[in-house]
Structure 1
Amino acid sequence: MSSVSVSADRMVEVYLDLLSQPCRAVHILLNCTKIPHRVRTVALRRGENRSPDFTKLNPMQKVPVMVDDGFVLTESDAILKYLATKYDVPEHWYPRQPERRARVDEYTAWHHSNTRPHAAKVFITEVLLPAQSGSSVDEVRLIHALSQLDDTLDKLESMFLRRQPFLCGDDVTVADLLAVCELMQPLGGGRDVLQARPQLQSWRSRVQSAVGDAFDRAHTVLYALRDRRKAKL
């Protein structure tokens, strides 16, 4: 939670499950920029997103959801950009200069049909489906998922990073948060998908340095999942 002291009714409320990649991106931005906020945990594994109260808030029954003085917003991309635009945070998160802002929008548009589904598919195949069904990992499906993700990682290196330190330029943006949280997700199954990619490892380290301890705070649940799985092996 933010260390800034304000009255409770002025706090942004966010409904999150930190096992969710987009929720972690929102959590990191709120904490590293110190936007006053309150986290309402919605445990997806317990079906709390399907409760009548949450369904009234978001009929799509998905997290994250943000409520800011009665204004309800869903979708992580929209929430991140709203927060960076409305609140007094460093301008680099979502630049005002049109060309620089367009670079962030370019990545986030691409993200939702590339980085997000391809990294998530590895986690779903290797962790979620076996846990739900009690069966072993479908190795053929996993190999296919890893191949799709490799193609995405190639494009992250060749198109977005190229000779720049962050995805959209010389400083960290909301695009980096969305991407890094997705690429961390397979770690829940003990798989570091950047292990053989030094360029992307360096980028991940730069993002971690830029956001400080907000990174590990957001990923505590994922680390715990990884450690529990390791203990069972």
Structure 2
Amino acid sequence: MQGLEFSLSFFSSPPLAWKSEMTNTRGRGKSLRYSVLGKKPAAGSGAEQPRTGPSNSEGASKVSLLKKVPALKDGDFTLAECTAILLYLSRKYKTPDHWYPSDIQKRAQVDEYLSWHHANIRANAPKTMWIKVLIPLFTGQPLPSEKLQEVMEGLSTSLKQFEERFLQDKAFIIGSEISLADLVAIVELMQPVGVGCDIFEDRPRLMEWRRRVEDAVGKELFFQAHEMILNIKELSNIQIDPQLKEHLAPMLMKMLK
């Protein structure tokens, strides 16, 4: 049996199901990942072999021609981009219908959110982490407070649209049940929280949605999955290899332009 190989990196932003594997060093990630989607690997199958490391590493480039993470290798088939990987696995393993509904209109709603997400929530939320922790860590210089304010203003606009257009008065993005859209959204929105920007405060509708996502996923799994994000400030105390700093600093600064 040919297994699945995942290439993961701290500098990627995979959805919740894959984040749990990345933050768990005692081998529990496989069952955690599958429990999110309602599937568990066969005992002793050894099907999933995670890889971690910088996205330009030799291992990652063998899995993804784009040299991007996360990436997936399923036998001779390779796939990049976290959303594409999520959809592929949900179809292959026939996960419970609510994750990516068979109903054509509900599925279209998931697709609609995923299309909107990249240019809005994802375009703003992760930048808080880069500005407050990662860029100062790799460049040795803090960024002006105006830069964070600019990003938070953009994020506030996106959150308003998220609540009014997608969440509305529903329990989850597409209705009464959680879907992949909610997973993709929550993993981005927890990143500002990890650096002290609590975007859920003073947004009761958003806070209630987050609590429902936690309950649907399971609180233990939810916080294991976000462990790295919620403790991201601890990275400020680590020593970074000078060559890695030199390589990544220009790339990180470019992300904020």
Task: Please classify the TM superposition score into its range, dividing by the shorter chain length.
Answer: 0.7 to 0.9
Taking a change above 3 Å as real, the CA distance of residues 18 and 228 of structure 1, as seen in their structure-2 partners, is: closer
Taking a change above 3 Å as real, the CA distance of residues 151 and 39 of structure 1, as seen in their structure-2 partners, is: farther
Q: Which runs of 5+ in 2 are unaligned?
A: 21-32, 42-46, 238-257
Q: Of the candidates 217, 226, 240, which is equivalent to residue 219 of structure 1?
A: 226
Rounded to whole Å, the distance in 2 between the matches of 1:17 and 1:209 is 27
Of all paired residues, the percent bearing the same amino acid is: 36
Residues 166 and 203 in structure 1, CA contact (< 8 A), matched pair in contact too: yes
Q: Of the candidates 41, 46, 52, which is equivalent to residue 42 of structure 1?
A: 52
Rounded to whole Å, the distance in 1 between the matches of 2:15 and 2:180 is 13
Give the TM-score, by structure 1 length: 0.85
Taking a change above 3 Å as real, the CA distance of residues 101 and 30 of structure 1, as seen in their structure-2 partners, is: same
Q: Secondary structure at the match of 1:91?
A: coil
> Which residue does 1:99 correspond to in 2?
105
Deviation (angstroms), 1:215 = 1.7
> Which residue does 1:3 correspond to in 2?
none
Paired letter, 1:221? M
Residues 18 and 218 in structure 1, CA contact (< 8 A), matched pair in contact too: no
Residues 116 and 182 in structure 1, CA contact (< 8 A), matched pair in contact too: yes
Q: How many corresponding residue pairs?
A: 218
Deviation (angstroms), 1:120 = 1.4
Rounded to whole Å, the distance in 2 between the matches of 1:154 and 1:11 is 42
> Which residue does 2:143 correspond to in 1?
137
Give the TM-score, by structure 2 length: 0.77
Taking a change above 3 Å as real, the CA distance of residues 199 and 110 of structure 1, as seen in their structure-2 partners, is: same
Deviation (angstroms), 1:23 = 4.6
CA root-mean-square deviation? 2.1
Rounded to whole Å, the distance in 2 between the matches of 1:102 and 1:184 is 25
1:29-178 to 2 correspondences below 5 Å:
30-32=34-36, 33-36=38-41, 38-43=48-53, 48-178=54-184
Deviation (angstroms), 1:27 = 4.5
Rounded to whole Å, the distance in 2 between the matches of 1:30 and 1:15 is 17
The answer as to 2:196 corresponding to 1:193 is no
Rounded to whole Å, the distance in 2 between the matches of 1:126 and 1:25 is 25
